[in-house]
């Protein structure tokens, strides 16, 4: 690795035109071949910082700026975009905002062609990028035909075909399955090592940042709260929690153990501090258990809440084929029953058929074969309006659902279509704004909000409808960890009122904590269906579906031989198992 700085940011302060202060005296530098992880809650300034580095600010967004930036020896505020693009490539959080052509192959060709790269080199780069991003075979598909995760892989591959010196990634894995996320982060590490590429990446997936980043920068309200090695930054667990950043679960576990168990803090200091990865945590705990430093106290996991016997959603032998030049079979003989009051998570690799399945519940797709029932009635015999009274769907991309002039109007729209009186509309709007934490944004045009806040608006609009069944399609996309928990806690409160929640998610931590039951899909087939703790212990099923159990579940499985219950799902469940040796 060479030692000169590829990116240097010096005391940058920026205020959007007619907007708030977004960055305040931000300084850092990144050397060639390093990976900088940029963390922070939604609205912390991460995307604004990225926009400064690739010329979107001030070319597209303007404001008042102070300080200086040097990127590959260029000033991005003064350098023409075409010149900067030969050095810097950025992959945005919302992949659809980057697509410009009609199929995947041409998306990969587009960037280098605009830089006048030779034809054979363009083809070589496109084939390489498609392979490393796992989209080879999709080259002739239209972007609109892809799942959210596949779109994200295409956007990343298109950025890689530019072979930039600096690659800026804004939440590049927010819509990917767990194995896909790990694969993409491994590709990022490979690019830094073999291509000597400098990479700046914003992400809420701190376990991956801890594993791969050279440095970590933490922002809050546009200010630098921490900057250093992953070991130094993630040791500050209380600071990170206060600014909406969740360290890796095994790191949080060790920090809580240090407060609970006498002498553990001293042992941590001797071995170099808090563990950052699953392997580090397992090795440390195994060694201390072997020498008797801990005693294990077996704790019965919390039981699942009792379920109703009433079936509210049912599919019987449902097959669905997308009509196309080459027809795609998305569902293959699916059978599923969901009871009233359940929180059911439908999980699986990108493109496994999850969203296609739930669209059948709303009559948005008509089964090629088979029957779909909602509360005992055949969906094919119901009107869209009658289904909407029972089911609310929150889509993965909120921009498909938002069209009104303000946040408040978005929430009022569906309620007025139900013919509710004005006082009831006002009451529901107020409650939903409060539930989603949007009270201060009621008068804002939704598309002036961040992608994460637009997700909250779409969720609030669905909650306001007070449906019997709420379907959340990747509810945690672009949400910080506080926002993810807030949405799931709303779902839990709805379940307590007898509502049914169906959640499509790649976030295994959230699924483990909030779902009662997992339905695992692979290539349009359900391969497992049962209580979450049982399904997470099915290693072959997890592997086949490209899923990884959360860190705490994996750690509990590794420590089963010491008397630890093998499918603990939360840090606090694991913490309760340990007490001081000899106590």
Mean pLDDT, the chain, integer: 88
pLDDT above 70 covers a percentage of the chain that reads 97
Classify residue 153 by its DSSP letter: H
Q: Could you tell me which of 413, 443, 412 has the C-alpha nearest to residue 429?
A: 412
Q: Are residues 292 and 316 located together in one domain of the fold?
A: no
Q: What is the pLDDT of residue 501?
A: 94
E strand intervals along 158-292: 166-170, 198-202, 215-220, 223-228
Residue 329: other Cβ atoms inside 10 A: 13
How many secondary structure helices (H) and strands (E) does the chain include?
24, 21
Confidence of residue 54 (pLDDT cuts 50, 70, 90): confident
| Residue 367 belongs to domain with CATH number | 3.40.50.300
Asked if the structure places residue 218 within a domain, the reply is yes
Q: Are residues 574 and 505 located together in one domain of the fold?
A: no
Asked if the structure places residue 12 within a domain, the reply is yes
Q: Are residues 321 and 354 located together in one domain of the fold?
A: yes
Q: Of the residues 221, 242, 263, which one is the last residue of a structural domain?
A: 242
Instruction: Return the SS3 of 330.
Output: strand
Contacts of residue 109, defined as CB under 8 A and 6 or more positions apart, other chains included, come to 122, 126, 161
- The arithmetic mean of pLDDT across residues 435-464, rounded, is 86
Q: Are residues 218 and 267 located together in one domain of the fold?
A: no
Q: What is the pLDDT of residue 583?
A: 45
Separation of alpha carbons 563 and 554, rounded Å: 15
Q: Are residues 439 and 568 located together in one domain of the fold?
A: no
Q: Are residues 51 and 181 located together in one domain of the fold?
A: yes
Q: What is the pLDDT of residue 478?
A: 63
Confidence of residue 172 (pLDDT cuts 50, 70, 90): confident
Q: Are residues 213 and 281 located together in one domain of the fold?
A: no
Residue 67: other Cβ atoms inside 10 A: 17
Separation of alpha carbons 252 and 567, rounded Å: 18
Count structural domains, the chain.
Answer: 3
Residue 498: other Cβ atoms inside 10 A: 11
Q: Could you tell me which of 212, 198, 97 has the C-alpha nearest to residue 155?
A: 97
Model confidence pLDDT, tens digit, residues 200-257: 999 888 988 999 999 999 999 999 999 999 999 999 999 999 998 999 999 999 999 9
Asked if the structure places residue 267 within a domain, the reply is yes
Asked if the structure places residue 543 within a domain, the reply is no
Q: Of the residues 192, 225, 242, which one is the last residue of a structural domain?
A: 242
Separation of alpha carbons 562 and 289, rounded Å: 8
Asked if the structure places residue 387 within a domain, the reply is yes
Domain range for 54 is 5-242
Q: Could you tell me which of 328, 330, 309 has the C-alpha nearest to residue 319?
A: 330
Asked if the structure places residue 541 within a domain, the reply is no
Q: Are residues 16 and 146 located together in one domain of the fold?
A: yes
pLDDT > 50? residue 2: no
Q: Of the residues 195, 215, 242, which one is the last residue of a structural domain?
A: 242
Q: Tokens at residue 397, please? A: 């991309």
Model confidence pLDDT, tens digit, residues 333-390: 999 999 999 999 999 988 899 989 999 998 989 999 999 999 999 999 998 888 888 8
Q: Are residues 165 and 108 located together in one domain of the fold?
A: yes
- The arithmetic mean of pLDDT across residues 424-442, rounded, is 90
Asked if the structure places residue 319 within a domain, the reply is yes
- The arithmetic mean of pLDDT across residues 308-315, rounded, is 91
Asked if the structure places residue 131 within a domain, the reply is yes
pLDDT > 70? residue 523: yes
Q: What is the pLDDT of residue 38?
A: 96
């Amino acid at each position: 690795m060479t030692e000169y700085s590829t990116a240097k940011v010096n005391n940058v302060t920026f205020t959007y035109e007619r907007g708030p202060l977004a960055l305040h005296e931000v300084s850092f530098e990144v050397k060639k071949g390093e990976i900088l992880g940029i963390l922070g809650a939604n609205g912390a300034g991460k995307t604004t910082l990225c926009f400064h580095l690739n010329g979107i600010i001030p070319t597209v967004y303007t404001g008042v700026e102070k300080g200086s930036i040097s990127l590959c020896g260029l000033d991005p505020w003064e350098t023409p975009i075409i010149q900067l693009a030969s050095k810097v490539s950025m992959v945005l959080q919302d992949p659809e905002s980057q697509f410009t052509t009609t199929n995947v192959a041409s998306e990969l060709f587009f960037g280098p062609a605009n830089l006048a790269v030779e034809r054979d080199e363009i083809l070589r780069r496109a084939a390489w990028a498609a392979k490393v991003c796992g989209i080879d075979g999709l080259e002739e598909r239209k972007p609109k035909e892809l799942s959210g995760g596949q779109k994200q892989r295409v956007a990343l591959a298109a950025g890689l075909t530019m072979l930039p010196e600096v690659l800026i990634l804004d939440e590049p894995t927010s819509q990917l399955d767990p194995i896909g996320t790990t694969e993409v982060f491994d590709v990022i590490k490979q690019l830094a090592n073999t291509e000597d590429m400098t990479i700046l990446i914003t992400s809420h997936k701190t376990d991956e940042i801890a594993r791969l980043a050279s440095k970590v920068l933490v922002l809050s309200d546009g200010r630098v709260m921490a900057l250093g090695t992953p070991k130094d930054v993630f040791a500050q667990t209380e600071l990170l929690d206060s600014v909406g950043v969740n360290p890796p679960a095994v790191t949080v576990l060790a920090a809580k153990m240090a407060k609970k168990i006498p002498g553990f803090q001293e042992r941590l200091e001797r071995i170099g501090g808090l563990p950052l990865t699953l392997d580090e945590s397992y090795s440390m705990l195994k060694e201390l258990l072997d020498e008797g430093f801990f005693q294990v106290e077996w704790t019965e996991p919390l039981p699942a809440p009792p379920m109703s016997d009433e079936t509210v959603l049912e599919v019987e032998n449902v097959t669905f084929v997308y009509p196309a030049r080459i027809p795609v079979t998305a569902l293959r003989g699916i059978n599923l029953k969901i009871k009233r009051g359940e929180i059911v998570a439908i999980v699986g690799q990108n493109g496994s058929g999850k969203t296609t399945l739930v669209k059948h519940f709303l009559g948005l797709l008509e089964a090629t074969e088979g029957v779909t029932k909602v509360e005992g009635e055949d969906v094919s015999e119901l009107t869209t309006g009658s289904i909407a009274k029972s089911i609310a769907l929150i889509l993965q991309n909120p921009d498909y659902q938002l069209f009104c002039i303000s946040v408040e109007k978005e929430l009022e729209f569906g309620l007025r279509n139900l013919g509710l009186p004005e006082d009831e509309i006002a009451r529901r709007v107020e409650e939903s704004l409060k539930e989603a934490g949007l009270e201060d944004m009621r008068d804002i045009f939704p598309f002036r909000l961040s992608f994460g806040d637009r997700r909250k608006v779409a969720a609030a609009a669905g909650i306001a409808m007070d449906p019997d069944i709420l379907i959340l399609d990747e509810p945690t996309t672009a949400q910080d960890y506080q926002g993810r928990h807030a949405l799931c806690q709303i779902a839990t409160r709805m379940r307590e009122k007898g509502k049914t929640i169906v959640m499509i998610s790649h976030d295994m931590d959230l699924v483990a904590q909030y779902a009662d039951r997992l339905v695992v899909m692979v290539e349009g087939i359900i391969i497992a269906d049962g209580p979450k703790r049982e399904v997470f212990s099915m290693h072959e099923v997890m592997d086949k579906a490209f899923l990884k159990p959360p860190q705490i579940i994996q750690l509990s499985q590794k420590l089963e031989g010491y008397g630890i219950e093998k499918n603990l799902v939360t840090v606090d469940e694991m913490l309760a198992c340990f007490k001081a040796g000899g106590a």
